[in-house]
Amino acid sequence: MFKAVDLFCGVGGLTRGLSDSGIEVVAGYDLDATCKYAYEANNNAKFIQKDIKEMTGEDFAQYFKKNEPKILVGCAPCQPFSTHTLKLKKNEGFQHKKWGMLYEFGRLVDEAEPDIISMENVPNLINTEVYTDFETKLKSKGYFVKSKIVYCPDYGIPQSRRRLVLLASKHGEISLIEPTYNKEEYVTVEEAIGHLPAIKAGGFDSNDPLHRSSAMNDLNLKRIRASKPGGTWKDWPEELRAKCHLKEGGQTYTAVYARMKWDNVSPTITTQYNSFGTGRYGHPEQDRALSLREGAILQTFPDDYSFCADGEKVVIKNIARHVGNAVPVKLGEVIGISIQRHLEIMGMKKSSQ
C-alpha cells in the first residue's frame, strides 16, 4: 500500500478519499484543533495539530521507509484565492496572512523531496503569482507537473463545484484520470440526499443529530414558501423582497434565497450552506435550508461520517465550516486512483505492511 501525508487536512475529506482509493494516509496536519475528532474518528490516521510554518522535511520523512514512494498532498486555505479576495487585492496594498501557505508548501517540498505531490484549490489560484512560483519551483526541482480545472459532477460529485487539481511526479508524466460520468449520468440532488427523513427548520432527526437545519425567522419562512425549485427571489410577492433586491445593483443577483432542484446538481457547498440567505441552499421541497448532513453528503462524505462525539453539542457554525472547507471525498478518491496508476506504470512498489 502506498502511503501519504495530508497537509491542511481539516476533517479529512481528502484523507478519506485517498483511503477509499487504497492509499494509506498516515498523518494529517492542521492548525484547527476543532477538526481533530472528526479526522481521527473516521480515518485510520493521526491528526497532528501543527502550523505548517513549523513543519520540517523530517516531520514528513519519518513516516516512510528509505526506498518507498513518498506522497505529499494538501489543500492550502482557499480564502485568499477566492474571487472576492482577489478583487480586494487589486485595491491598495491588500495582503492576506494566509497567502503564504502555498509558499510554505513549496518550502516543505524543498526539504522533503516527496516522489508525488498533489495540491487542490480554487480555480482562481492558477492566475496568481504564488501559483506560478509554486509550479516553477516544482519544475526546477525536476518534477513533471500537470494541472487541471475539474468540474466535480464529471467525477460523480453532486455539486457544481470547480476545483484546480495539480499533480506532480519525480518519475514521469502524471495526470488526473479521465472523467467517470457524462452529463446524462450526473448524480442529482435527489439521488444524493432524497433518502433522508423530512425535518423542519431548526429541527433535527432523532437518529442522526447531524441531520439538523438552522432555524429561520418568520420572514424567511414566508420567503422560502414562496420560492420555486430552481427559481429566484423574483418569484416572491413584492412585500417579501429585501431592500437590496429593489436596488438597481441587486436586480441581477439571483443566486441567493433560492431552492435547489431535485433533478440537478447542487450549487457549490460553501462554509455557509446551512443558511437560506447565502446561496441557493433552500431544500427543494421542505421549508428550510440544507441540513448539516445534507451538505456533507453533497460533499460526498459517507452518510455515517461522524463530525462530533456522542453527547457533544452540535455547533452548527463549526461543522458547516468544516464541511464547506473540505475536499470532496470522491475527488480525493479520484486523485488517489490517479496517483496509484501512475506509480504502478512507473514500476514503483507498494510498502509491505
C-alpha cell of residue 139:
519544475
Q: Residue 100 has what pLDDT?
A: 79
Q: How are beta strands 162-169 and 116-121 bridged, if at all? A: antiparallel
CATH number of 3-185+327-345: 3.40.50.150
Nearest Cα residue to 284 out of 297, 294, 271, 272: 294
Task: Please tell me the distance from the alpha carbon of residue 297 to that of residue 300, in angstroms, as a whole number.
Answer: 5
Whole-prediction pTM value? 0.92
Nearest Cα residue to 157 out of 331, 332, 339, 333: 331
pLDDT in tens, the chain (353 residues): 899 999 999 999 999 999 999 999 999 999 999 999 999 999 999 999 999 999 999 999 999 998 899 999 999 875 544 444 444 444 433 344 555 789 999 999 999 999 999 999 999 999 999 999 999 999 999 999 999 999 999 999 999 999 999 999 999 999 999 999 999 999 999 999 999 999 999 999 999 999 999 999 999 999 999 999 999 998 999 899 887 766 655 555 567 899 999 999 999 999 999 999 999 999 999 999 999 999 999 999 999 999 999 989 999 999 999 999 999 999 999 999 999 999 999 988 776 55
Q: Residue 172 has what pLDDT?
A: 97
C-alpha cell of residue 340:
496509484
Burial class from Cβ neighbours inside 10 Å (0-12, 13-18, 19+) for residue 39 reads: buried
CB atoms within 10 A of CB 126: 16
Task: Please tell me the distance from the alpha carbon of residue 110 to that of residue 133, in angstroms, as a whole number.
Answer: 13
Cβ–Cβ < 8 Å for 336, 22? yes
- Dihedral sign from CA coordinates of 114, 24, 177, 331: negative
C-alpha cell of residue 254:
439571483
Cβ–Cβ < 8 Å for 156, 180? yes
> ∠210-195-280 over CA atoms, to 5°?
70
Q: Is 78 a catalytic residue?
A: yes
CB atoms within 10 A of CB 183: 9
Cβ–Cβ < 8 Å for 139, 111? no
Report which residue type is found at 83. T
Task: Please tell me the distance from the alpha carbon of residue 268 to that of residue 282, in angstroms, as a whole number.
Answer: 13
Report which residue type is found at 81. F
CATH number of 189-325: 3.90.120.10
Residue 5, strand partner residues:
27, 72
C-alpha cell of residue 130:
504564488
Nearest Cα residue to 290 out of 317, 259, 321, 313: 259
Q: Residue 83 has what pLDDT?
A: 46
Name the active-site residue from 78, 152, 244, 308.
Answer: 78
Q: Provide the b/e sequence for 73-112 (b: ≥16 CB within 10 Å).
A: bbbbbbebbeeebbeeeeeeeeebeebbbbebbbbbbeeb
CB atoms within 10 A of CB 264: 17
Residue matched to cell numbers 488526473: 176
Q: Where are the domains of the chain?
A: 3-185+327-345, 189-325
Q: Residue 88 has what pLDDT?
A: 43
C-alpha cell of residue 277:
440567505
